[in-house]
């Protein structure tokens, strides 16, 4: 753990900002509990992934430059999403010509940027969190966090330290839930078939709570679970680690 | 033979999702491929290092492809074989037909070849009075059904045993109606008996090639059934269909890639039959083909060289990316509408038929990255799918609504103050509509989302609004 | 221009060009030196280890293996294998000198016929060019000694493998082949065979045999 209190910029992500600020606040709590000073740069909007994945390089690049600008000077940038984290860490540097100032800055940002659970465990060397959360939970590995950032044990390790959480693994935890950003609205039938398989594996665990690290995947899975009338509660990993069981689960009012 | 239907992708998908037999077959078999590969990979500690070397070998070949092609050709000739160059499917078909005619061929047996599918060879042979007989069991079954393969290495993976039984009963008129064909071994035995006579009577044997070795002028086929070997050993003429990127430098290099091929494809340590063929019958040979021909096909591959898509030419057609793809497993191979399905197909097909004819394929991916994770040749498939989307965007091929929606969103996202206001309004409006429910069943312009799932409602205020209130 | 010239021309126009001499030299060197890449540890070890790994791998793919000490015992073991498998006491072989020298009369009523396989043949015996411990693979080379069809047409394929030819890896077989044929020269066909014929084309269920032999039996002679 760094000796002085690291200055962390929170990259909220556009989905958390608009749909579920409680994830952002849970993330802030986790960072502050770990001894960080947290700031939220006003300039940030979206990481640019929708543009990037739609083949719109110019806008993706413009948004990347905006994020680079917004997070200059922070010791670390922390994101409650493996997907936006992967975008910054893996893809931003590819936008710019090696040797250019922008490329250097993108690499610098990539080095400073971390997904929340991996930041806590890898950088801040957090072994456990002080939280309570009653849940028979199962954890879904979101694709980008898993395959772009190698996040697998980090959330599980921290979740195991939460008082009241018991984890049971689902079959194919590492298989995509069918979200895929604009994919799920462009090809809803395929997305639904993938989601159907995913929900079968979730339900087979007997868990009462589904946890993952990306709000996009969570909204996808929660949206269908609730459409089907399932009682399974859906939560972001940061909320559980922060012990925020008072905020209603995703897609629920109470 | 089904025609190309890549443009009808959405219709194909709708049909595939409603096909219960297909869905049953995909659900049953998909996980088996994955479990087999995982086991084989875990049993070989050097597997990932071999993948790195395999990639490097092919990269080296592609950087020196002209020289390797010339060297290979010279070695084939030295061994008494013939090389026929073909720029297009037309030229390849014509070359095959000419060889068959010179051999007075009535019937040809065929080992499994994706190039044969690519050039639609069977149709051409039939039109010219020559009967092609597919001998790989899966290919044989789909030939009876007049279908295309739905998988690169398991052509009939979309079918169940009762469908196969029905096809055999329909075509094998000698079959006793009382004979029990409900179990898979009985079906295999029936195919074995029928095809045995075909091997013995064929005039020409046509196979594909997994690799071509420049050092020796050798073509390699890899099979488990032994059908490829019977196809190429018994008739007087052996024709090899290969595309130009199949080259590897040496026996050692082929060996390294073979070590990752079977493990990735079927989860075997090595396929049952790996056969190295160099030229025709030698003096004193009591068996084997008298003539040995290689058709070297380009069909658009040279146009990929030197571009951001070059890495696709490393592909060894193992099918691992298909087996691990959740989209492929949801819709099966036929939905992709052409010869090469799955993730690698979505990269290759636009290159060979044009992105304007296949724009859905690179879009029908969540970029989950599992294909790249398992690719033995470390082809960055998601990256290349994204490159296709870039081409599509550059050429304005996307639907107008999608383009406008994206444009509007990007306009806002680049203006943080405006974006703050717009998201605050949207969050408030949506959450007001969902009071007491936490979710929405219908949202204007979001039918793609709400067709199958509710939309979780925003909590009310945006994070940025709340942050300002709580931490002024 | 011919298709050949068109294709080669496009390749040359599109790949990154270094100096032509250096490119050719890189290719020529690789072909001449044919360097070995990474070879897995699995098969590496003394002959007992290689026999153990080979046997394990061959059994895993549905083949069978026996190890004998005296090559002159081969006919007896062939006869016993056929009898145990309820096959006629008749076997097809090529002109292989080692097989030709064997005291076939020790196989009792065993009938031995020579030449390439025909459809009616139920069993064949071949002399392996090499065995590969790494994956339980037999290497056969074509020619009058061991005609290729013997490997595929009969339903039982019996292989005689001398322990001196049981290598750890494929690479050693290539070295042996080059010393036999010369650099850059191959026999018409080299068959690597790992177990009896199989298919999984219906519902990914493994069935043996498909089109080739139903049984593969390797007799390793120490």
pLDDT digits (tens, 9 = 90+) for A140-187: 999 999 999 999 999 999 999 999 999 999 999 999 999 999 999 999
**Domain boundary at B255, B274, B297, which?**
B297
The answer to whether residues A80 and A23 touch, using CB atoms and an 8 Å cutoff, is: yes
- Where residue B255 falls among pLDDT bands split at 50, 70, 90? very high
Domain boundaries in chain C? 1-32, 42-221
Task: Provide the 3-class DSSP secondary structure of residue A61.
Answer: helix
Residue B154 and residue B158: Cα distance in Å, rounded?
Answer: 9
> What CATH number has the domain bearing residue B186?
3.40.50.10420
Which other chains touch chain A, taking contact as 3+ CB pairs less than 8 Å apart?
B
What's the domain range around B449?
Answer: 415-470
**Domain boundary at B281, B297, B313, which?**
B297
Q: Do B449 and A223 touch (CB under 8 A)?
A: yes
Examine residue B95 and state whether it is found in any structural domain, yes or no: yes
CATH topology of domain A7-122: Rossmann fold (3.40.50)
**Domain boundary at B245, B264, B297, which?**
B297
Examine residue B210 and state whether it is found in any structural domain, yes or no: yes
CA atoms within 13 A on the CB side of B54: 27
Per-residue pLDDT of chain A (254 residues; tens, 9 = 90+): 556 899 999 999 999 999 999 999 999 999 999 999 999 999 999 999 999 999 999 999 999 999 999 999 999 999 999 999 999 999 999 999 999 999 999 999 999 999 999 999 999 999 999 999 999 999 999 999 999 999 999 999 999 999 999 999 999 999 999 999 999 999 999 999 999 999 999 999 999 999 999 999 999 999 999 999 999 999 999 999 999 999 999 999 97
> What is the 3-state secondary structure of chain B?
CCCCCHHHHHHHHHHHHCCHHHHHHHHHHHHHHHHHHHHHHHCCCCHHHHHHHHHHHHHHHHHCHHHHHHHHHHHHHHCCCEEEEECCHHHHHHHHHHHHHHCCCCEEEECCCHHHHHCCHHHHHHHCCCEEEECCHHHHHHHHHCCCCCCCCCCCCCCCHHHHHHHHHHHCCCCCCCCCCCCHHHHHHHHHHHHHHHHHHCCEEEECCCEEECCCCEEEEEECCCHHHHHHHCCCEEEEEEEHHHEECCHHHHHHHHHHHHHHHCCCCCCCEEEEECCCCCCCCCCCCCEEEEEEECCCCCCCCCCCCHHHHHCCCCCHHHHCCHHHHHHCCHHHCCCCCHHHHHHHHHHHHCHHHCCHHHHCCCCCCHHHHHCCCCCCHHHHHHHHHHHHHHCCCCCHHHHHHHHHHHHHHCCHHHHHHHHHHHHHHHHHHCCCCCEECCCCCCHHHHCCCCEECCCCCCHHHHHHHHCC
Q: Do A14 and B423 touch (CB under 8 A)?
A: yes
Examine residue B86 and state whether it is found in any structural domain, yes or no: yes
Residue of B nearest to C26 (CA): B64
Strands B211-213 and B247-248: parallel
Task: Provide the 3-class DSSP secondary structure of residue C22.
Answer: helix
> ipTM of this predicted complex?
0.98
- B18 touching chain A per CB within 8 A: no
Q: Which of C40, C144, C198 sits opposite B224 (nearest CB)?
A: C198
Inform me whether the pLDDT recorded for C85 exceeds 90: yes
Examine residue B360 and state whether it is found in any structural domain, yes or no: no
Examine residue B462 and state whether it is found in any structural domain, yes or no: yes
Site of tokens 């429910």 = B437
- Where residue B3 falls among pLDDT bands split at 50, 70, 90? low
Domain boundaries in chain A? 7-122, 127-241
Q: How many domains does chain B divide into?
A: 2
Q: Do B288 and C189 touch (CB under 8 A)?
A: yes
Q: Which of B386, B426, B463 sits opposite A53 (nearest CB)?
A: B386
- Where residue B2 falls among pLDDT bands split at 50, 70, 90? very low
Examine residue B376 and state whether it is found in any structural domain, yes or no: no
Residue B62: strand pairing partners: none
Inform me whether the pLDDT recorded for B188 exceeds 70: yes
Examine residue B103 and state whether it is found in any structural domain, yes or no: yes
Class of the CATH domain delimited by C42-221: alpha beta
pLDDT of residue C90: 98
Which other chains touch chain C, taking contact as 3+ CB pairs less than 8 Å apart?
B
* Average pLDDT of the residues in B42-70: 98
Output the CA–CA distances (angstroms, integers) from residue C118 to A122, C209, C215, in the order listed.
67, 18, 17
Residue C51: name the closest of C128, C165, C145 by CA.
C165
CATH topology of domain A127-241: Rossmann fold (3.40.50)
% of chain C beyond a pLDDT of 70: 100
Site of tokens 């939970």 = A137
Inform me whether the pLDDT recorded for B1 exceeds 60: no
Chains C and A are touching, with contact defined as 3 or more CB–CB pairs separated by less than 8 Å = no
């Amino acid at each position: 753990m760094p000796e002085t209190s690291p200055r962390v910029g929170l990259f909220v992500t556009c989905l958390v900002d608009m749909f579920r600020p409680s994830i952002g606040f849970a993330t802030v709590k986790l960072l502050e509990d770990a001894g960080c000073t947290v700031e939220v740069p006003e300039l940030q909007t979206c990481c640019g992934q929708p543009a990037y994945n739609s083949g719109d390089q110019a806008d993706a690049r413009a948004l990347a430059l905006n994020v680079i600008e917004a997070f200059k000077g922070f010791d670390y940038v922390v994101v409650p999403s493996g997907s936006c984290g992967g975008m910054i860490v893996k893809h931003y540097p590819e936008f710019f010509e090696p040797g250019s100032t922008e490329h250097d800055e993108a690499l610098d940002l990539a080095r400073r940027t971390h997904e929340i659970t991996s930041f806590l465990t890898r950088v801040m060397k957090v072994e456990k969190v002080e939280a309570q959360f009653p849940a028979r939970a199962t954890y879904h590995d979101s694709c980008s966090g898993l395959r772009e950032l190698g996040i697998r044990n980090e959330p599980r390790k921290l979740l195991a330290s939460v008082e009241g959480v018991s984890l049971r693994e689902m079959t194919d935890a590492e298989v995509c839930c069918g979200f895929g950003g604009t994919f799920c609205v462009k090809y809803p039938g395929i997305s639904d078939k993938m989601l159907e398989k995913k929900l079968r594996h979730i339900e087979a665990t007997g868990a009462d709570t589904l946890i993952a690290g990306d709000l996009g995947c969570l909204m996808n899975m929660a949206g269908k679970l609730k459409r089907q009338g399932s009682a399974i509660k859906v939560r972001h990993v940061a909320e559980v680690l922060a012990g925020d069981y008072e905020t209603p689960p995703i897609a629920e009012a109470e | 033979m089904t025609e190309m239907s890549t443009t009808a992708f959405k219709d194909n998908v709708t049909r595939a999702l409603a096909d219960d037999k297909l869905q049953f077959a995909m659900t049953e078999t998909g996980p088996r491929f994955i479990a087999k590969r995982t086991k084989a990979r875990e049993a070989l500690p050097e597997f990932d290092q071999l993948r790195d070397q395999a990639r490097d070998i092919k990269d080296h070949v592609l950087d020196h492809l002209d020289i390797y092609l010339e060297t290979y050709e010279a070695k084939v000739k030295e061994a008494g074989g013939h090389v026929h160059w073909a720029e297009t499917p037309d030229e390849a078909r014509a070359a095959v037909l000419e060889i068959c005619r010179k051999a007075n061929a009535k019937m040809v047996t065929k080992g499994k070849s994706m190039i044969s599918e690519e050039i639609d060879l069977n149709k051409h042979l039939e039109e010219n009075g020559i009967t092609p007989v597919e001998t790989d069991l899966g290919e044989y079954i789909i030939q009876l059904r007049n279908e295309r393969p739905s998988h690169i290495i398991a052509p009939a993976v979309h079918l169940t045993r009762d469908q196969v039984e029905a096809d055999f009963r329909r075509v094998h008129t000698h079959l006793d109606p009382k004979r029990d064909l409900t179990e898979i071994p009985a079906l295999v035995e029936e195919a074995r008996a029928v095809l045995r006579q075909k091997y013995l009577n064929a005039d020409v044997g046509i196979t594909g090639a997994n690799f071509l070795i420049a050092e020796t002028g050798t073509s390699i086929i890899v099979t488990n059934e032994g059908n490829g070997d019977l196809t190429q050993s018994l008739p007087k003429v052996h024709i090899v269909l290969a595309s130009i990127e199949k080259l590897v430098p040496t026996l050692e290099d082929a060996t390294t890639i073979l070590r990752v091929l079977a493990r990735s494809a079927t989860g075997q340590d090595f396929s049952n039959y790996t056969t190295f063929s160099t030229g025709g019958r030698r003096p004193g040979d009591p068996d084997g083909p008298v003539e040995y021909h290689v058709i070297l096909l380009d069909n658009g591959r040279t146009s990929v060289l030197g571009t951001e898509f070059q890495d696709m030419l490393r592909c060894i057609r193992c099918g691992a990316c298909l087996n691990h793809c959740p989209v492929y497993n949801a819709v099966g191979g036929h939905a992709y509408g052409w010869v090469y399905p799955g993730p690698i197909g979505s990269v290759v097909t636009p290159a060979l038929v044009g992105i304007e004819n296949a724009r859905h394929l690179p879009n029908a991916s969540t970029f989950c990255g599992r294909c790249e994770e398992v690719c033995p040749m470390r082809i960055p498939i998601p990256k290349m799918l994204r490159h296709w989307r870039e081409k599509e965007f550059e050429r304005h091929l996307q639907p107008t609504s999608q383009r406008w929606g994206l444009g509007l969103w990007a306009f806002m996202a680049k203006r943080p103050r405006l974006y703050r206001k717009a998201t605050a309004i949207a969050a408030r409006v949506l959450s007001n509509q969902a009071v007491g429910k936490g979710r929405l069943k219908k949202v204007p312009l979001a039918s793609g989302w709400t067709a199958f799932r509710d939309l979780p409602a925003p909590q009310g205020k945006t994070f940025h609004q709340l942050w300002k209130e709580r931490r002024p | 221009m011919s298709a050949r010239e068109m294709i080669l021309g496009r390749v040359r126009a599109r790949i990154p060009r270094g100096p032509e001499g250096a490119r050719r030299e890189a290719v020529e060197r690789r072909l001449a030196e044919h360097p070995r890449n990474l070879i897995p540890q699995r098969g590496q070890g003394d002959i007992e280890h290689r026999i153990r790994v080979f046997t394990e791998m061959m059994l895993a793919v549905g083949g069978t293996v026996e190890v004998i000490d005296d090559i002159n015992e081969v006919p007896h073991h062939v006869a016993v294998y056929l009898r145990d498998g309820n096959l006629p006491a008749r076997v097809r072989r090529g002109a292989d000198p080692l097989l030709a020298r064997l005291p076939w009369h020790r196989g009792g009523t065993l009938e031995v016929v020579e030449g390439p396989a025909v459809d009616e043949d139920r069993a064949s015996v071949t002399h392996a060019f090499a065995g590969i411990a790494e994956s339980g693979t037999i290497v056969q080379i074509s020619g009058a000694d061991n005609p290729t069809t013997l490997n595929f047409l009969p339903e039982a394929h019996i292989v005689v493998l001398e322990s001196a030819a049981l290598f750890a890896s494929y690479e050693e077989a290539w070295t042996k082949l080059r010393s036999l044929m010369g650099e850059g020269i191959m026999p018409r066909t080299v068959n690597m065979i790992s177990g009896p014929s199989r298919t999984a084309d219906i519902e990914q269920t493994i069935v043996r045999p498909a089109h080739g032999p139903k049984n593969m039996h390797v007799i390793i002679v120490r």
